[in-house]
Amino acid sequence: MGAVNLKQIAQRAGVSLATASRVLSGSDYPVKDDLRERVLEVAAQLDYVPNASARVLLRGRSSIVGVLVGDVSDPFFSGMIGGIYEVADDADYMVNVVNTFREPGKELDTLRRLREQRVDILIVAGSGLDDAAFTAGMEKSLAAFVQGGNAAVLIGHHGISDDVHAARVHFDNREAAREVAEHLRELGHQRIALITGDPRLLSTRDRVLGFRDVFGDRVIPVETEPTRDGGYEAAGTILSTRPEVTAIASTADQMAFGTLVYLRERGILVPNEMSVTGFNDIDVAKDFVPSLTSAHVPLREMGRRAMELGLQGLEGDVDDIEVMPELAIRASTGPARK
């Protein structure tokens, strides 16, 4: 029981702990070849793997980046995570992703667990939340983390005070939403429905605001699960209660897919009878039928940049960057029906 440790290697090889360590830790300290070989052989034979905990304890650095997301299997997050991995891998960092399962109450908890692991870098990708106690807890935790000599990166997470010395990857959700809305307005739409996920999420809020900037009261918000099925259901509600609507927007592509499927099943033509828009522009959006008009969010790039900022943060320079929305106009939107 228990993994093989250095002491066992040293004993078997008939050398001191220090010698074994010097050989196996990649130190450039000189060790005679015959001893070195003996150590190496025993280590290989027993398949010795050093204990990272002990090393971390000693060094105070873990080479682990902790990532806080809502749900790893959501393409929105897994895109970002993919970007993080790319950079982390080159920098020899392990990536430790934790799920909050979109339960905001859990976020503080998981953040703490990541801190317990003594991650060097913390990337918070879950959206902010409109909740004072939560925000305060978050700020305190992040401040203490950074205070401890680590780097924190917030992705699209405003609501956290600038006093927290964290790098940020900004994405202007409101502006992106405005572009989508503007596109619909130009097509002559007057009354639109907007399917949203949890309205307490700041990203959702901002997206709603963007639509309101253009449509004011003429946007009808419908709250649902942020999934394909949620969008499917919401579309049904909208059609039966709001016949005046000529376009259905969503705050995430998955919901728009659900809406498109619903419309397809009902034989309602898109975009002739109804326009549909998504948000985030995940990979399949362009291949869906009809291809989905969506606010493109450069997820992979955001992940990459976040990780780069984290690495820089360790060196002491905390930076802010902004990635730009870009409206992807496709086949799911057209002139409002008469």
Partner DNA sequence: ATGAAAGCGCTAACAT
Partner DNA sequence: ATGTTAGCGCTTTCAT
Binding site for its own copies (CB under 8 A): 1-4, 46-47, 49-54, 56-57, 60, 62, 71-73, 75, 78-79, 81-82, 85, 89, 94-99, 101, 112-113, 115-118, 140-141, 143-145, 148-149, 228, 257, 260-261, 264, 283-284, 287-289
Give the binding-site size for DNA (rule: CB under 7 A). Answer: 28
- Does 144 bind DNA (CB under 7 A)? Our answer is no
How many other CB atoms are found less than 10 A from the CB of residue 63?
16
In the list 12, 31, 177, 277, the residue contacting DNA (rule: CB under 7 A) is 31
Q: Omega of the bond prior to 290 within 30 degrees of 0, cis? A: yes
Q: Which does 30 bind (CB under 5 to 8 A by kind): its own copies, DNA, none?
A: DNA
Nearer to DNA, 48 or 232 (CB): 48
Q: Which does 47 bind (CB under 5 to 8 A by kind): its own copies, DNA, none?
A: its own copies
Sequence-ordered list of residues with C-beta below 8 angstroms from that of 101, at least 6 positions apart, any chain = 70, 71
Count of alpha carbons within 13 angstroms of residue 319, beta-carbon side:
14
Q: Which does 316 bind (CB under 5 to 8 A by kind): DNA, its own copies, none?
A: none
Q: Which does 89 bind (CB under 5 to 8 A by kind): its own copies, DNA, none?
A: its own copies
Q: CA 169 to CA 306: how far, in whole Å?
A: 6
Tell me which residues in 5-24 interact with DNA (CB under 7 A). 5-7, 15-19, 21-22, 24
Tokens describing residue 105: 């109450």
How many other CB atoms are found less than 10 A from the CB of residue 338?
5
Report DSSP letters for 198-244, one per residue.
-TTBHHHHHHHHHHHHHHGGGEEEEE--SSHHHHHHHHHHHHHH-TT
Neighbour-count burial of 331, counting CB atoms closer than 10 A to its CB (0-12 exposed, 13-18 middle, 19+ buried):
middle
In the list 11, 27, 45, 272, the residue contacting DNA (rule: CB under 7 A) is 27
- Does 30 bind DNA (CB under 7 A)? Our answer is yes
The CA–CA distances, whole Å, from 303 to 57, 78, 81, 124, 156 equal 28, 9, 6, 11, 11
The CA–CA distances, whole Å, from 335 to 185, 188, 246, 257 equal 9, 6, 9, 20
State the minimum distance, in angstroms, from the CB of residue 205 to its own copies.
26
The CA–CA distances, whole Å, from 250 to 122, 162, 253, 280 equal 30, 30, 7, 10
State the minimum distance, in angstroms, from the CB of residue 5 to DNA.
3
Backbone angles phi, psi at 87, to 5 degrees: -75, -40
Q: Which does 35 bind (CB under 5 to 8 A by kind): its own copies, DNA, none?
A: DNA
Nearer to its own copies, 239 or 292 (CB): 292
- Does 35 bind DNA (CB under 7 A)? Our answer is yes
Nearer to its own copies, 32 or 113 (CB): 113
State the minimum distance, in angstroms, from the CB of residue 29 to DNA.
6
Tell me which residues in 43-72 interact with DNA (CB under 7 A). 50-51, 54-55, 57-60
Nearer to DNA, 38 or 174 (CB): 38
Backbone angles phi, psi at 254, to 5 degrees: -55, -40
Nearer to DNA, 55 or 286 (CB): 55
Q: What pairing do the DSSP bridges indicate for beta strands 326-328 and 293-296?
A: antiparallel
Backbone angles phi, psi at 138, to 5 degrees: -60, -50
Q: Omega of the bond prior to 271 within 30 degrees of 0, cis? A: yes
Q: Which does 21 bind (CB under 5 to 8 A by kind): DNA, its own copies, none?
A: DNA
Nearer to DNA, 119 or 239 (CB): 119
Task: Classify 283 as helix, strand or coil.
Answer: helix
Q: Which does 132 bind (CB under 5 to 8 A by kind): its own copies, DNA, none?
A: none
Q: Which residues bind DNA (CB under 7 A)?
A: 2, 5-7, 15-19, 21-22, 24-25, 27, 29-32, 34-35, 50-51, 54-55, 57-60
